[in-house]
């Protein structure tokens, strides 16, 4: 079992505020191998990437997990933003928001959990929520 909280390592950048408080990476259980490798690494980072050709949702946004392992830093597709959040992020502008890692968990049975926040520019949260 490996559980890490990342709040202290991930300060909110100047000029940003929390738009979405506590989200779980959607579909991470379908990408277990990549999620497990991400969590087994060190020096975690997550990023977002639009996936407009996704056959299930044209607003889909990938969550990419990057961590350092034995052979250097590796980025992996670990899941997606929840659909309602992806719709808001896409309408607002994916380049105007950033994810903030909260928690990673890898259970003894291989279960993976990745929790994060969505941050955006101060003073624009109402615009984001209305997007």
Which of 68-77, 102-111, 119-128 has the lowest average pLDDT? 68-77
What per-residue confidence (pLDDT) applies to 6?
84
CATH of domain 2-126: 3.30.70.2330
pLDDT of 9 > 90? The answer is no
**pTM for the predicted model, two decimal places:** 0.93
CA distances from 117 to 25, 33, 56, 71, 107 (A): 10, 23, 24, 29, 22
**Where exactly are the structural domains of the chain?**
2-126
* Model pLDDT for residues 36-55, shown as the tens digit of each residue: 999 999 899 999 999 999 99
CA distances from 105 to 28, 91, 95, 112 (A): 12, 30, 27, 6
* Model pLDDT for residues 77-101, shown as the tens digit of each residue: 999 999 999 999 999 999 999 999 9
Q: Where in the chain does DSSP place strands (E)?
A: 2-5, 16-24, 42-50, 61-69, 72-80, 98-106, 112-121
């Amino acid at each position: 079992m490996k559980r890490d909280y990342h709040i202290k390592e991930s300060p909110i950048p100047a000029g940003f505020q929390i738009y979405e408080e506590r989200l779980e990476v959607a579909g991470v259980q379908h990408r277990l191998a990549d999620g497990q490798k991400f969590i087994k690494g060190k020096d975690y980072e997550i990023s977002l990437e639009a996936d407009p050709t996704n056959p299930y949702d044209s607003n889909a946004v990938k969550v990419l997990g990057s961590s350092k392992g034995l052979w250097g830093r590796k980025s992996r597709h670990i899941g997606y933003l929840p659909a309602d959040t992806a719709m808001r992020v896409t309408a607002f502008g994916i380049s105007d928001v950033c994810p903030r890692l909260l928690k990673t968990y890898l259970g003894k049975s291989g279960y993976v959990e990745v929790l994060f926040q969505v941050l955006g520019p101060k003073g624009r949260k109402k615009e984001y929520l209305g997007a």
